[in-house]
Amino acid sequence: MRLPASIPAIQLVAPLALLGMVLSAPVMAEIRVVPSVSVRETYSDNPGLSPDKGEGQFITDLSPALNAVINGPRVKLFANLGAHLYAYSGDRPGNTNSANLQLSTGGKADLIQDLLYVDGAASRSRQSISAFGQQSQNGYSDNNSDDVTTWRLSPYLVHRFGNLATGQLRYTRDSVQSGNGQLGNSKGDSVNLDLSSGPAFSTIGWGLQAFHQSITDPVAGESANDNAVATLRYRLKSSLSVYANTGYDRYSYEGLGGDSGGKSFAGGFTWTPSQRTSIDASAGRRYFGKTYSLAATVRSRRTIWNATYRDEITTARAQFLRTSSTDTAALLDASFASAFPDPVERRQAILAYIAALGLPASVANNVNYFSNRLLLQKQFQGSVVLNGAKSALIASLSSTRRTALSPEGVDAPLTTDQVLGGLNDNTRQVSASLSLNYRLSPRTSATLSTSKSRNLSTTTGIRQDQTNVNFIVTRQFARKLSGNVEVRRNQGDTFDARGRGYRENAISASLNYQL
């Protein structure tokens, strides 16, 4: 398979090669490499998710994949690489792919014990260009989507100053690139200093953090941000502590409205009555107004409840680099922690569990649409996982508000229609999902999943709804051979002159074999 010309293969190989060189120190490590191949046959009545419903087609998807793990006392690395090669029964419809490549990899190495470490990650996936367009679930449609490639490499020093303090100094080099340049292809450099009190401060603790980042972006221009915060914490008892912090933020974006920033302060508490329950909440003020945060997790033997809220100054670029907390693997992480304490082994076990049950890869999550602008984002996410003897339920809710803080001119390549000029100025997205799995037998399970989202442009008044429903039955035929049958429906609105919607009904069957 040939990669698109706009994403040379070196962009995918370079960060992995750098990380591989770092991890090549002679250590006793377990190495597992599992190649696999799957074949899927699909009939879709609208492969390109077009408002002008086209002719239905059979689509053959050949998917070779490679899963690799290096797990040692000083080296931990995982890599998942997969390709999809599509063949159509007729002429390839518009807005569809002939192939795509997916990559997810990350690792960490202990170069000098208790002193020097390095970690890194790389990914390539298809992302939605706009929140107000087709949201593809089928893989072969490229309507309103494009490839986004990210990588990050980060060496850091850790030092313990006896019982007084622990310090960390980290440098990070990262990159975000899109397939056709609509999202500015950018490089970032950042330095982060973190100094926190040690065991000598048992009742009163303190912390100092300083962060600087500079970004080179041919579309949005040069930009930089500086953040500093000092925290004082008081432990009321072993499970409850209160804290207060103060700091300063400064954001400087060339061509994006100049500098902005100011002082910040907040107060909050942390409550951990048990290993299964943790709540951290705060309230305060930053230069853009009131600010709040929440991170709560409550676990029992069969349930996991999560709730998070955060408001922040961010960019679409920063969100693409951030590991999603709303994918199914992240939600299941806590429930697998006791059985798989090693994070690399735990990740592989979770991915195998998701594949075996036919669970969706992600839950309710709002669209990180393409934008080169500075954004004020306020986001709430809540989820619950219920595990029964033969069943599992995953439900989630997400709400995101974005306010653009910089002029829309830098997003001109993304909005060719003048009517869309203010579409992304201020947006509100709400989404919900529900997935129910039932194990019919030790080798067979059925999963019903549904999700619904609503996107609103508060500047233009444009509103769009998206709905997805799918039913999948999976079967483990042998230790290395599995298969599934899936029926799905995807429908939603599109923004065009006639206000038309789109709809796809599809049925597919697949076989997967591990070599």
- Does the domain formed by 9-514 have CATH 2.40.170? yes
Q: What whole-number distance in Å separates Cα of residue 196 and Cα of residue 205?
A: 8
Determine the Cα–Cα distance for residues 396 and 331; give it in Å rounded to an integer: 10
- Name every residue whose Cβ is closer than 8 Å to that of residue 84 and which is 6 or more positions away in sequence: 61, 62, 63, 97, 99, 100, 101, 102, 139, 140
User: Tens of pLDDT along 110-135?
Assistant: 889 889 999 999 999 888 888 888 88
pLDDT classification of 7: cutoffs 50, 70, 90: very low
Tokens linked to 278: 């943790």
State the pLDDT confidence band at 334, using cuts at 50, 70 and 90: low
Return the percentage of the chain with pLDDT > 70, whole number. 82
Q: What whole-number distance in Å separates Cα of residue 473 and Cα of residue 496?
A: 37
Interatomic CA distance for residues 359 and 447, integer angstroms: 7
Does the pLDDT value for residue 219 go beyond 80? no
CB atoms under 10 Å from CB of 346, counted, come to 19
Domain parsing of the chain, residue ranges:
9-514
pLDDT digits (tens, 9 = 90+) for 46-60: 998 888 777 889 999
Query: What confidence tens digit (pLDDT) does each residue in 69-113 have?
Result: 888 888 888 888 999 999 999 888 888 889 988 888 888 888 898
Which pTM value belongs to this model?
A: 0.85
Q: In 3D, which of 157, 270, 169, 266 has the Cα closest to residue 212?
A: 169
- Mean pLDDT value of segment 486-509: 83
- Helix pair angle (343-357, 328-336), 10° resolution: 120
Rounded to 5°, the CA angle 76-80-86 comes to: 175
Instruction: Spell out the alpha helix ranges (H) of 358-445.
Output: none
* C-alpha–C-alpha distance, residues 107 and 214, integer Å: 24
Residue 422, exposed/middle/buried by CB under 10 A (0-12, 13-18, 19+)?
middle
pLDDT digits (tens, 9 = 90+) for 369-390: 888 888 899 999 999 989 888 9
Q: What is the pLDDT of residue 413?
A: 63
